[in-house]
């Protein structure tokens, strides 16, 4: 048995998985901001599971630029984990072999193991959460880049640059993510109409409001789908993947996937070169099979590959 963690900017999902990647049990806690609080909670969870299961290793999926040795160059929105070796920290506290993998890479690995990429050799996996993460698989292997940064699709700029200030305001992280993009864009629009409007942090609520005709929700969602579609079309032209698999919790929402694919189709038809190639070489956009569990599963696969693992 293995313990799997998927550390996100908002929540940490965790559970016990068997040799085949099946989740035996799982739960979720809120992500703390202090390093020691995070490390202590991870350790406590592992120690709890060790009392119930024969735990052989720990797999950790996390955001950011992560080196092969487990060093966190960055950690997405979790600034307290920047520039620490998370693998060494957890191994020293638990005594168990630990693998640490970028969250989108972990999702891509999981999809190849037991998900929708089992028959694919060249594909991308996009994880929509606090930011926009990406996993790149070329010829069946995860491509990490020279410094472990490959797949940071959220860094892409998708609009005119602002005249001053942080140009990430027009990046895919700030426009195409769910927590870092959709929520703030919607709440900003709401406050323009009503400064006392309640903050909404639920994509389902925003989509429901659009269904009943709320103009703000309709406009924000339309722009959100467009921004995300632009990013995905750029990736299609750059990588020529067999498919792009969309992960993260929102990918389980069928309406979201339908609206996103409809927007992509519309934009592809307006792009002369892509329109010509559409039924010839353009890869499919589809949800990842493992969705919110992919990070844990892919991280556990990685710990199973460590020397000495069964």
Q: State whether 153 and 214 are in the same domain.
A: yes
Query: What are residue 77's DSSP bridge partners?
Result: none
Q: Is 42 inside a domain boundary?
A: yes
Percent with pLDDT over 70 in the chain:
99
Q: State whether 49 and 170 are in the same domain.
A: no
pLDDT at 306: 80
Q: List, for residues 98-132, the tens digit of each pLDDT value.
A: 999 998 899 999 999 999 999 999 999 998 988 89
**Interatomic CA distance for residues 145 and 230, integer angstroms:** 23
Q: Is 310 inside a domain boundary?
A: no
Helices (H), 53-202: 86-94, 103-114, 172-175, 183-193
Residues 6 or more apart from 251 whose CB is under 8 A from it? 128, 257, 287, 288, 291
HSE, CB side, 13 Å, CA atoms: give it for residue 229.
22
Q: List, for residues 139-181, the tens digit of each pLDDT value.
A: 999 998 888 889 999 999 988 898 999 999 999 999 999 999 9
Q: State whether 203 and 82 are in the same domain.
A: no
- Helix, strand and coil in the chain, % to nearest 5: 45, 20, 35
Q: State whether 209 and 163 are in the same domain.
A: yes
> How many structural domains are present in the chain?
2
* Local structure of 245: helix, strand or coil: strand
Strands 141-142 and 132-138: antiparallel
- Residue 130 contacts residue 10 (beta carbons within 8 Å): yes
Q: State whether 250 and 149 are in the same domain.
A: yes
**Interatomic CA distance for residues 74 and 310, integer angstroms:** 31
Query: 66: buried, middle or exposed (CB in 10 Å: 19+, 13-18, 0-12)?
Result: buried
Structure tokens that stand for 137 in this block? 């698989």
Kindly write down the DSSP assignment for every residue of 172-237, as one continuous string. Answer: HHHHTSIIIIIHHHHHHHHHHH-TTPPP---HHHHHHHHHTT-HHHHHHHHHHHHHHHHHHHHHHH
Q: Is 309 inside a domain boundary?
A: no
Q: State whether 79 and 130 are in the same domain.
A: no
Q: List, for residues 187-244, the tens digit of each pLDDT value.
A: 999 999 899 999 999 999 999 999 999 999 999 999 999 999 999 999 999 999 999 9
**Interatomic CA distance for residues 78 and 65, integer angstroms:** 12
Q: Is 40 inside a domain boundary?
A: yes
- Residue 15 contacts residue 296 (beta carbons within 8 Å): yes
- Residue 133 contacts residue 152 (beta carbons within 8 Å): yes
Q: Is 114 inside a domain boundary?
A: no
Q: Is 283 inside a domain boundary?
A: yes
Q: State whether 99 and 123 are in the same domain.
A: no
Reported pTM = 0.85
pLDDT at 265: 92
Residues 6 or more apart from 245 whose CB is under 8 A from it? 107, 108, 111, 115, 116, 117, 123, 124, 125, 126, 286, 287, 288, 289
> Would you place residue 80 in the very low, low, confident or very high pLDDT band (cuts 50, 70, 90)?
very high
Q: 216: alpha, beta or left, given left = phi > 0 and alpha = psi -120 to 50?
A: alpha
CATH number for the domain including 82? 3.30.420.40
pLDDT at 218: 96
Q: Is 193 inside a domain boundary?
A: yes
Q: List, for residues 204-215, the tens digit of each pLDDT value.
A: 999 999 999 999
Structure tokens that stand for 199 in this block? 């903050």
Q: State whether 296 and 172 are in the same domain.
A: no
**Interatomic CA distance for residues 72 and 168, integer angstroms:** 21
Q: Which domain holds residue 141?
A: 119-288
Q: State whether 88 and 151 are in the same domain.
A: no
Q: How many beta carbons lie within 10 A of that of residue 193, not counting itself?
A: 9
Q: Is 271 inside a domain boundary?
A: yes
Q: State whether 17 and 164 are in the same domain.
A: no
**Interatomic CA distance for residues 296 and 122, integer angstroms:** 22
Q: State whether 96 and 204 are in the same domain.
A: no
pLDDT at 252: 83
Q: State whether 82 and 126 are in the same domain.
A: no
């Amino acid at each position: 048995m293995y313990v799997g963690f998927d550390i996100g900017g908002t929540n940490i999902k965790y559970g016990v998985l068997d040799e085949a990647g099946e989740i035996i049990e799982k739960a979720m806690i809120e992500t703390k901001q202090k390093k020691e609080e995070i490390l202590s909670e991870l350790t406590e969870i592992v120690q709890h599971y060790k009392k119930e299961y024969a735990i052989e290793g720990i797999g950790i999926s996390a955001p950011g630029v992560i080196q092969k040795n487990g060093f966190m160059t960055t950690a997405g929105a979790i600034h307290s984990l920047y520039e620490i070796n998370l693998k060494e920290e957890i191994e020293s506290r638990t005594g168990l072999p630990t693998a640490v993998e970028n969250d989108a890479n972990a999702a891509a690995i999981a999809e190849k193991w037991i998900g929708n990429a089992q028959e694919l050799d060249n594909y991308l996996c996009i994880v929509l959460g606090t930011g926009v993460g990406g996993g790149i698989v070329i010829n069946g292997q995860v491509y990490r880049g020279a410094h472990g940064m490959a797949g940071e699709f959220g860094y892409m700029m998708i609009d005119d640059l602002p005249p001053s200030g942080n140009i990430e305001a027009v990046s895919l992280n700030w426009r195409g993510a769910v927590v870092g993009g959709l929520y703030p864009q919607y709440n900003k629009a709401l406050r323009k109409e009503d400064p006392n409007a309640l903050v909404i942090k639920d994509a389902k609520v925003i989509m429901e409001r659009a269904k009943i005709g709320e103009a703000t929700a309709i406009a924000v969602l339309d722009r959100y789908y467009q921004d995300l579609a632009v990013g995905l079309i750029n990736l299609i032209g750059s990588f020529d993947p067999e498919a792009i698999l969309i992960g993260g919790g929102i990918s389980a929402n069928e309406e979201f996937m339908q609206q996103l694919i409809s927007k992509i189709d519309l934009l592809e038809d307006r792009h002369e070169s892509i329109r010509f190639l559409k039924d010839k070489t353009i890869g499919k956009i589809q949800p990842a099979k493992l969705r919110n569990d992919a990070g844990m599963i892919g991280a556990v696969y990685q710990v199973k590959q460590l020397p000495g693992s069964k």
